[in-house]
Amino acid sequence: MRYNSRAEVLKMRNSPYCIGDDIAVNLQPETTTDDTASMIKTIQVALLEDHPVFRTGVKLSLAPVCHVALEAATASEFFTKLQTATIDIVVLDIMLPDASGIDVAQRLREEHPEVKILVLSVDGREETFVRLMQIGIDGFLSKNASEDKILEAVQTICGGGNYFSRPEDILERDILISACSRRHE
C-alpha cells in the first residue's frame, strides 16, 4: 500500500485496524485453527542503525519473538552482510554515515522486494515521509516510540500488514524546532 501524503495515512486512523493512536493495517485473513503455536516462526531481522547503544536497545526490544540475523552501522556493511543472510524485515535508520536511508530503502525494494522495511527515525519531514511512501515501505516509527511499539510494528508488518507512528508524534519534533527557530529570528 502506498501513500502520497500524511493526510492519507491520517485517514486510516478511523479504520477498524487502528491500534490506540498508531496505525496498524492487518491484511492477513484471521486464522481459524487452534494450532496457532505451530504457525509461529521466529522473525529474522536486519538492523541498520549507526548508533550502537540505540541498536542494542532495539535488539533487546525485539528479543522475545525476533532474531537479529544481521546488524550493521553503515549501508555498505549492510549490503555486504545481506548477501549471506536470510531476513524477513529490515529496521532502517534514515540518517546513516555513508548513505541515505531513503537510498537504502529504494535499493532494497529493487533488489529484494520480498523483504519488509520498517523505518525507525527522528526525521519527520513531509518530503521524507512522502518519498518513503512512494518507495513502498511497510512501516514508519518514530525513534521516541516505546519498546513494545517497535515489537508490535515488526510483528504487524511481518504478519502482512503496515504500521505507522502517529504522524503527530513525528511532526512534534519539527513543530518544536520551528517554534524555537522563530524565537531566535
Render pLDDT for 28-48 as a digit per residue (tens, 0 to 9). Answer: 434 434 444 445 689 999 999
Exposure of 147 in the CB half-sphere (CA atoms within 13 A)? 12
Q: Which of 150, 141, 100, 146 is nearest to 122 (CA)?
A: 141
Using a 10 angstrom Cβ sphere, with 0-12 exposed, 13-18 middle and 19 or more buried, the burial of residue 32 is: exposed
Q: Which three cell numbers stand for residue 41?
A: 516462526
**Residue 45: strand pairing partners:** 68, 89
Mean pLDDT of 77-88: 96
What is the per-residue pLDDT for 26? 45
Where in 26-180 does DSSP place strands (E)? 43-48, 66-72, 89-92, 116-121, 139-142, 162-164
Q: Report how far residue 39's alpha carbon sits from residue 70's, in angstroms, rounded to the nearest whole number.
A: 23
Instruction: Print burial letters for 2-14: b (CB count within 10 Å at least 16), e (below 16).
Output: ebeebeebeebee
Q: How far apart are CA 70 and CA 59, in angstroms?
A: 10
- What pLDDT, on the 0 to 100 scale, is given for residue 167? 55
pLDDT for 8 equals: 54
| pLDDT tens column, 165-184 | 865 555 554 544 454 454 44
Nearest Cα to Cα of residue 113 among 97, 90, 91: 90
pTM over 0.95: no
> Residue 50's pLDDT band (boundaries 50, 70, 90)?
very high
Q: Specify the pLDDT at position 40.
A: 64
* Cell of residue 57, nine digits: 536497545
* Whole-number Cα distances in Å, 172 to 78, 119, 176, 179: 30, 17, 6, 11
Model pLDDT for residues 133-146, shown as the tens digit of each residue: 999 999 999 888 88
